[in-house]
Every structure is written in structure tokens, then in C-alpha cells.
Amino acid sequence: LAQGFLDLPANRLDPTPATLQAIFDNSLIVLYRLLFILYAESRSLLPVPANRLYTESYSLDALKRRIVRELTQGQPAAASMTTFWQQLRQLWQVIDQGNPDLAVPAYNGGLFKAKIGAFLAQYQVGDLHLRQAIDLLARAPDPQGQRAFVDYRDLEIRHLGSIYEGLLEYHLRVAAAPLAVRVEKGREVYEAVDASQT
């Protein structure tokens, strides 16, 4: 998500320390919005599948399934397009304000309020990065090694708190050279890649 904010040319964001902090903070907001929606839709707190219009046109469930179809079919996504972002903005607005036609009451928490998402109203993440982020949240390897949808129904608030606390230990930095991910002792490690190897 953070890289997506930086890579979208229309954002014109320079990686200054203040900008990186704003990107980090708002990436966490997006992450928590996505986790909340995945949880709420899996528990039918949002009307999946009860309201057909919501399910087919607004839901994160429909978006994640579309993303899987695109990935399975090898369809490219453009870093400069923001189709998925616009769909998420509509969904966030529905959750924040409610919509009786979609059977969605207004959410009374602050997570979806426009005032905490002012950065998110001005800046966007392109489809390439947003598609990858949503897929990484929506699917995980099953016992056979295939990627399968994660069931968020049993997620608890304490899990979200643990995730949040763990993420706060990270900081965004601009790499001096291109990086590649290598798995070492079950953990992902980033290491510089020689430009001649790419």
C-alpha cells in the first residue's frame, strides 16, 4: 500500500520523512478498513449475500473475487489506474454514511470518517499495488499449497490489536538500491539486488 501511494504519478509525493510518516499512518487506516470489511462481510454484518446490489456492486467480497479472476487469467493491472481505489472509496462512504437501499446502516465508529481520511481523499493507490494488497489479505496458502480465501469470521478485536501493535514497530524508508525478498529461517528478508542481476 505504501509503495502504491509513492508510485502513483498523479499523487506527486516525494519521500520526505513527513510524507513517509503520513503514508505509513494512512496505509494503516486502509489496512484496518479492509480488515474490518472482510470481517463484517464474513459475519454478514454487512449484507453479503442478503443484498444483491451491495454484494455485486459494492462489496469487498466481489472486489477480491474479481482480483483473483484477473490474477488467475494473467490480466495486467496498471500502476497508474485507480479503478479499485474508486470502488473502495464508494464502499467506505456507504459504510460511513449508511445506505438504506443497500441495507447498510451508518457505522458509528471513526474508522471510516472522512476527517481521519483527509489524506485518503487527496491521494490514491494504483490498481497494481492495491490489487496485490487486497489479494494478500484475502487469500493465504491452504494445506495443499494453493491460495484459498481466508475466513475472517473468527477474527477477534484482540487479534486486530496485536496486529496493530506489531505494525507500529515498522517504519518506512526509501531503499538506496532495488531490493528482493529472500526467505531465511521462515522469515522474509530484504536484500539489495545488483542491477546487473535484474
Q: Please state, rounded to an integer, the average pLDDT across all residues of the chain.
A: 92
Q: Flag whether pLDDT at 197 surpasses 70.
A: no
SS3 breakdown of the chain: % helix, strand, coil, rounded to 5? 55, 10, 35
Return the C-alpha cell found at 148. Answer: 484459498
Write down the pTM of the prediction. Answer: 0.89
Q: Minimal CA–CA distance to 63: which of 37, 43, 24?
A: 37
Residue with cell 520523512: 17
Q: Minimal CA–CA distance to 66: which of 137, 126, 146, 135?
A: 135
Q: Which of 31-35, 107-111, 188-192, 194-198 has the highest mean pLDDT?
A: 31-35
Calculate what percentage of the chain has a pLDDT beyond 70: 98
Q: Which band of pLDDT confidence, cut at 50, 70 and 90, is reported for residue 175?
A: confident
Residue 61: burial class (beta carbons within 10 Å; 0-12, 13-18, 19+): buried
Residue 98: burial class (beta carbons within 10 Å; 0-12, 13-18, 19+): middle
User: What's the confidence (pLDDT) of residue 108?
Assistant: 86
Q: Flag whether pLDDT at 17 surpasses 90.
A: yes
Q: Minimal CA–CA distance to 57: which of 73, 71, 46?
A: 46
Is residue 183 helix, strand or coil? strand
Q: Flag whether pLDDT at 198 surpasses 60.
A: no
Return the C-alpha cell found at 131. Answer: 490489487
User: What's the confidence (pLDDT) of residue 85?
Assistant: 98
Q: Which band of pLDDT confidence, cut at 50, 70 and 90, is reported for residue 196?
A: low
Q: Flag whether pLDDT at 168 surpasses 90.
A: no
Q: Flag whether pLDDT at 190 surpasses 80.
A: yes
Calculate what percentage of the chain has a pLDDT beyond 90: 71
Distance CA 7, CA 82 (A): 12
Q: Flag whether pLDDT at 59 surpasses 70.
A: yes
**Range of weakest confidence among 71-75, 89-93, 114-118, 134-138:** 114-118
pLDDT tens, residue by residue, 75-91:
999 889 999 999 999 99
Q: Minimal CA–CA distance to 6: which of 124, 178, 118?
A: 124
Q: Flag whether pLDDT at 186 surpasses 80.
A: no
